[in-house]
Chain A
Amino acid sequence: MIDKRVGGLAEAVEGIDDGATILVSGFGDAGIPVELCHAVLDRGVRDLTIVTNNGGSGETDIAALIREKRVAKLICSYPRSTGSHWFKQRWDEGALELELVPQGTLSERMRAAGAGLGGFFTPTGAETELAQGKETRMINGRLHVLEQPLPGDFALVHAQQADRWGNLTYHLAARNFGPTMATAAATTIVQVREFVELGGLNPEHIITPGIFVDRIVEVG
């Protein structure tokens, strides 16, 4: 019997220890696993590497982890947004390392990790300072940059519905990085709005098949 449901948020984030690399879904405020981030905060772990698109905003989730100095390194495409004052403060203090990655490269590096690939050549960033020090190659007359896979120890993903096998659906543009991140981590932890019975999801509407999911917690 397969049942990936766990009893609560603390149980969902068990095993996340100091120094972990965590992929966190979301774009702006859409699709951020807010409650799972707070469970990581409550666990008290430090020196985290967080891979996510933005730098958090306000006082919750990623911003809270940065505020409480739990994040040693942020790998993201766009850390500066309205309300990302904790990112700004910690970066200005020199307390937070930043690896800036073009957004499509960020996503594709995680896809490569999930797909078992050793990296890929992309034209994105060629001849710019974000490609400095990276191997390049001319392919079909165009300069490409070698980018490395980006796996996580854990992924924290926000989804809409799940069954006990871990099959997932998402709501509108809250999908964003979730399906890719789910494939790219050793352990994928998902918070969902609603559990449904096995068979309650149309197989053709499942976006993330349960093989990519390890733990699910329902967060209304």
Chain B
Amino acid sequence: MSTERGFSKQALAARIAADIPDGSYVNLGIGMPTLVGDALPADKEILLHSENGILGMGPSPTPEQYDAELINAGKQPVTLLTGGSIFHHTDSFMMMRGGHLDICVLGGFEVSEHGDLANWSTGDTSIAPAVGGAMDLAVGAKQVFAMMTHRTKDGRSKVVRSCSYPLTAARAVTRLYTDLAVIAIEDDGMHLVELAPGISLDEVREATEPELHV
């Protein structure tokens, strides 16, 4: 992504972080969404959840803090904030599936007009499938934010009328954050919230398959 026009990955992470209210319980998916953690403002108490049983996850450890048995969903070492807690997997997924998390931020291969999310499989049967906790998060969090580039590297739109890849969850995404725009997904379809810096409405519409309400 260009730093001149559109949101850079870091700018997009900061834009998402600005939409997360103080006091929220949040899960950040593997990949690009982890950047949101670094962008959270220090003056808000936002508790990060990790599917493997952590609430109140802190930043990467110093060598003195390192513990091989304190890792995040991406298996990277992390720390625990003062007041953080540890619980087992079934409780962790109860938090996720049971609607206790306020927001999850997930990466996406495709997001449809009605909020269908495809982010776990390209349908390539020559590669062993793997899903992890994505389906539980997508059905369970109160709000599901998708964070992704608007188009594939070869220019195809990832914001589609109907997903061509296998679904992670149907009608799940409430807000879509891309390098080109912020889009709210409501019962009647997609609504533009904000254009990225230097991006025109025509450009977003060109890159978006479904109708974009303004």
Asked if B136 and A80 sit within 8 Å, CB to CB, the answer is no
Q: Name the CB-closest residue of B to A102.
A: B135
Given A123-B139, A124-B135, A126-B170, A176 contacting B128 (CB threshold 8 A): no
Tell me if A186 counts as interface (CB < 8 A to partner B).
no
CB neighbours of A108 from chain B (8 A): 90, 93
Q: Name the CB-closest residue of A to B168.
A: A128
Tell me if A86 counts as interface (CB < 8 A to partner B).
no
Asked if B75 and A176 sit within 8 Å, CB to CB, the answer is no
CB neighbours of B128 from chain A (8 A): 55, 79-80, 87-88, 91-92, 98
Asked if A31 and B69 sit within 8 Å, CB to CB, the answer is yes
Given A122-B97, A128-B168, A176-B52, A100 contacting B131 (CB threshold 8 A): yes
Tell me if A191 counts as interface (CB < 8 A to partner B).
no
Contact of A127 among B71, B87, B131, B167 (CB under 8 A): B167
What 16 additional pairs, Cβ within 8 angstroms, besides A77-B132, A103-B133, A108-B93? Answer: A28-B52, A29-B71, A80-B127, A100-B131, A101-B131, A102-B136, A104-B136, A104-B140, A107-B92, A127-B169, A127-B170, A170-B86, A172-B67, A176-B88, A180-B88, A180-B89
**What is the CA–CA distance of A79 and B120 in the complex, to the nearest angstrom?**
13
Main secondary structure of the interface of B (DSSP, over half): loop
Q: Name the CB-closest residue of B to A76.
A: B130
* Binary per-residue interface labels of chain A (114-142) against chain B in the complex, 1 for a CB within 8 Å, 0 otherwise: 00000000111111111000000000000
Tell me if B199 counts as interface (CB < 8 A to partner A).
no
Tell me if A111 counts as interface (CB < 8 A to partner B).
yes
Given A104-B133, A171-B69, A174-B69, A124 contacting B97 (CB threshold 8 A): yes
Contact of A128 among B68, B89, B135 (CB under 8 A): B135
Asked if A173 and B133 sit within 8 Å, CB to CB, the answer is no
- Size of chain B's interface in residues, with CB distance under 8 A? 39
How large, as a class, is the contact surface on chain A?
Answer: 35 or more
Given A30-B71, A128-B167, A173-B69, A102 contacting B90 (CB threshold 8 A): no
CB neighbours of B167 from chain A (8 A): 127-129
Tell me if B53 counts as interface (CB < 8 A to partner A).
yes
CB neighbours of B88 from chain A (8 A): 175-180, 207
Residues of B within 8 A of A (CB): 50-54, 67-71, 75, 80, 86-90, 92-93, 96-97, 121, 127-136, 139-140, 166-170
Asked if B68 and A30 sit within 8 Å, CB to CB, the answer is yes
**What is the CA–CA distance of A129 and B129 in the complex, to the nearest angstrom?**
11
Residues of A within 8 A of B (CB): 27-31, 55, 77-82, 87-88, 91-92, 98, 100-105, 107-108, 110-111, 122-130, 170-180, 207
**What is the CA–CA distance of A103 and B93 in the complex, to the nearest angstrom?**
8
Contact of B132 among A31, A103, A110 (CB under 8 A): A103
CB neighbours of B69 from chain A (8 A): 30-31, 171-174
CB neighbours of B86 from chain A (8 A): 170, 172-173, 175
CB neighbours of B53 from chain A (8 A): 173, 175-176
Asked if B130 and A180 sit within 8 Å, CB to CB, the answer is no
Task: Give, as a whole number of angstroms, the nearest-CB distance from A147 to chain B.
Answer: 12
Q: List 29 A-B contacts (CB under 8 A).
A: A27-B75, A28-B75, A29-B68, A29-B75, A30-B52, A55-B128, A78-B132, A79-B128, A100-B130, A103-B132, A104-B133, A104-B140, A122-B97, A123-B139, A123-B140, A124-B97, A124-B136, A127-B167, A128-B166, A128-B167, A128-B170, A129-B121, A129-B167, A172-B80, A173-B52, A173-B86, A174-B69, A179-B90, A207-B88
CB neighbours of A102 from chain B (8 A): 131-136
Asked if B52 and A125 sit within 8 Å, CB to CB, the answer is no
CB neighbours of A180 from chain B (8 A): 88-90
